[in-house]
Structure 1
Amino acid sequence: MLSRFSIPGFGAKRRFDDLSEQEILALAISSEEEDAQIYRAYAGKLAAAYPRSAAVFEGMAATEDEHRRRLIEAYQRRFGDFIIPIRREHVAGYIARNPVWLVENLGLDRVREEAADMERQAGAFYIAAAARATDADTRKLLGDLAAAEAGHEREANALAAEHLTEEGRGEEDAAAHRQFVLTWVQPGLAGLMDGSVSTLAPIFATAFATQNPWTTFLVGLSASIGAGISMGFTEA
């Protein structure tokens, strides 16, 4: 149950076990809406460099839209047109999503892993929500959505087969590798070379000039700390 992740003492958030069926449905609606937006954001970020993977995420976003539509219909039948404004951040211990900018900077494989985690978490939510539901139609819908989330991996594979051929995936993986080298490896090597020269130069100069190991150590330590601070500000 999701309630085991509840944080005691934080009254500003609701515990999952304390939510009514109306609130659970409203939470599911907002969650599906947010997940669709995340998938579309992934697609938009990947479109230029990885168009085939972007098409897969567009298909996944469309699936989330369909889930949201079914949830809204169920909500309207039972509770009317006004949907309670409740979101993930209002529920203690509820599943959280990493910021899109944080994931996208880690490369294509990390985006794919994040999407798989999102589907697993959504499936766990629907299983817990279905167990709480007392209305037969609502319970059936939540159970169906839990099964759908569990089957999303197969659906994602089907979308990948449609949009992402073996050759296309190889091209995108190669592009992702090049991007990783240019983004992380090359700057790291350049920084290592620059830092080594700028740090070793005053150490050797001090050693030759003073012939004093302790003074040389202090100069080297100061140069290392200064280089670390400088590189830290540069990366920030």
Structure 2
Amino acid sequence: MKSKNIIITGTSRGIGFELVHLFANQGHNVLALSRNAQPVNNLQFDNISSFAFDLCQEEDYKKVETFIQDEWKHVDILINNAGMLLNKPFAETSFKDFSKVYETNVFGVAEMTRVVLPFMKSDGHVITISSMGGIQGSMKFPGLAAYSSSKGAVITLTELLAEEYKETGPQFNVLALGAVQTEMLKEAFPDYQAPTTALEMATYINEFSLNGNKFYNGKVLQVSNSTP
């Protein structure tokens, strides 16, 4: 398989960290983006590049643009994996809380995609990681008003982008994940034990990223073996 240039956000832990490892082991070039770059830097792979990046800081996107122009010239796959999970009763969820969640989960996804798109070819693939909580009609949980509604927003955004770029590419798809045992889940729901590990889910996303756009465009796939 020809090596691909892959950008992944939210790589300091959980699914994102596992994805970086998987792609690098397969010989692909990875740009790993996270507010904390240290965990990925510790991996010490020649084909992994990493620097501190914050989805909420406009100037950080320039660093991504410069890197692509100087190092790669093009991007094959973008995985919008970074996310913020807030578990708080709605009555206590402030304007600032909602803004922060949407800034990371929606505006960050939109801006990262907008910045990377000019460097993608017709067969490129943009994958956004959403949640079962963002699926209309799925089981909902108290305390997740900001989080789950933001995850619904990126599903609609993906459908719109697939339509807008259907003649030229790339392809856009969403994976709506069920509960995965990550640090982020543990912080929000300390007592819940998810049936799927971060590595197991990363392995699925890895395969879908490389091949899913041959079969899907503008689709949301529900990747869950549990109720949440």
TM-score category, normalised to shorter length: under 0.3
> Which TM-score applies when normalising by structure 2?
0.26
Q: Specify which structure has the higher proportion of helix.
A: 1
Q: Specify which structure has the higher proportion of strand.
A: 2
> Which TM-score applies when normalising by structure 1?
0.25
